[in-house]
Structure 1
Amino acid sequence: MITIGGTGVMVLGVLAAGVLSTLLGMALRARVGTVTAVALAGLLWSLTAIAVATLVPTRAGVGIVPAETRSNSCSWDYGGPNGAAFEGLGLDQRTLNVLLFVPAGMFLVLAVGRWWSGVVLAPLGLALLAAYSVAVELLQLQLARIDRACDVTDMVDNILGAGVGFVIGVLLLPLTRPWRGRKPAH
């Protein structure tokens, strides 16, 4: 059986998503302007990075986790264990869960900020980011083979991160002015 996982695989996945997102941004630039193209590419990259970081097993040799030993429900123990996820960075798991969703919230606002409909789309997108966090946690519960745990603390931290990113995006709108990024067609 071939098993895939570990930090190296996660980093490669995030880098590959970055390359593809950059190509998408370059392709969209003439059509929607630089700021919106970068924001759309960044949003796609951040959503993919979230999936890779949360759905790839943390170590390569996980193999099959027997159904009897896996959890049947999400942990509702708010705060739960807060181990050092990436000790080299000096950040704990809760901080990383918040930081993981900040770019998605920020890029979301900048991606829809060029249109008036962004006033509706941005809050709707924030709700969808919250749903994305819940979906990731439920997938972790259902996919016993990846040896991950569904945890309400992760959901709260992810949604907090998306909210922080959303506020950063709103603050960046007047500086980046995505509505001015494209010249009208002649």
Structure 2
Amino acid sequence: MFPVGGVGVMLALVLVAGAGCALLAVALRPRLGWVTALSVAGFVWSLAVIGSITLIPANGAPGIVPAEGRLAGCSWDIGGPAPEGFWIVGGGQRTLNAVVFAPAGALLVLALARWPRLAWVGVPVGIALLAAYSAGIEATQLALARIDRACDVTDVIDNVTGAVIGAGVGILLALALRPWRQRLR
């Protein structure tokens, strides 16, 4: 049996991760400046949030999922087994999947913008790693039937779309905030 679940557990994990990442930002600020320190800590926090809301059962501990009720593989049908609609975002689960990954894409760009030469390589590699993170989450959802989640390639597509949109927003924010010009004390 999977012993935990529900929105309360998700929110508790998000808050604990947020507190830890706030401490990380405070520790990084003297070395990196406030924009980069908050971006790095925010990026780590966004990864923790994504993990919490995708790998914790949404409706409490589901108990035992019978073998015949478990999916044998991921859905490769674009639009997949995921039901339309989700209670947090009115635009449907596909919109939610994109929205959840957008902050990670934006914060990735802001975290690397302090070093423009590194950013040219780091951002595309980071987007690829976010895609791998999404695929890993889907593989985990397939392998752990007890978390009562469905593995769907559409989720990966939506997640990567959100990360790319977020990276575009991050570029605009980096141009406005200019973390590469920030002087350290």
* Contact 1:14–1:48, Cα closer than 8 Å, also in 2: yes
Gapped regions of structure 2 (runs ≥ 5): none
CA shift at 1:83, angstroms? 2.5
1:112-167 per-residue CA deviation (whole Å, 9 max, x = no partner) reads 11112111111110111111111110110001110101001111100000000010
State the Cα deviation string for residues 86-116 of structure 1 (Å, max 9, x = none).
15x5342111100000000000000011112
Given that 2:86 and 2:93 are in contact with CA atoms closer than 8 Å, whether structure 1 keeps it comes out as: yes
Counterpart residue number, 1:171: 172
What CA distance in whole angstroms lies between the structure 2 residues aligned with 1:40 and 1:48? 13
The alignment partner of 2:114 has SS state of coil
- SS, match of residue 86 in structure 2: strand
Tell me what 1:155 maps to.
156
> For residues 133 and 110 of structure 1, what CA distance do their matches in structure 2 show?
21
Identity %: 52
Q: How many residues align?
A: 183
Q: CA deviation at 1:60?
A: 1.3
Distance 2:121 2:41 in 1: 21
> 1:33-61 CA deviation, whole Å, 9 max, x = no partner?
00000000010000000000000011113
Taking the aligned partners of 2:6 and 2:94, their CA distance within structure 1 comes to 19
Structure 1 SS opposite 2:40: helix
TM-score where L is the length of structure 2: 0.93
Query: Which one-letter code corresponds to 1:94 in the other structure?
Result: R
Aligned equivalents of 1:90, 1:29: Cα separation in 2: 37
Where do 5+ consecutive residues of structure 1 fail to align? none
SS of residue matched to 2:135: helix
Q: RMSD across aligned C-alpha pairs, in angstroms? A: 1.5
Q: Is the 8 A contact 2:134 2:159 kept in 1?
A: yes
> SS in structure 1 opposite 2:67?
coil
The equivalent residue for 1:78 is: 78
Partner residue of 1:111?
111
Letter in 1 for 2:17: A
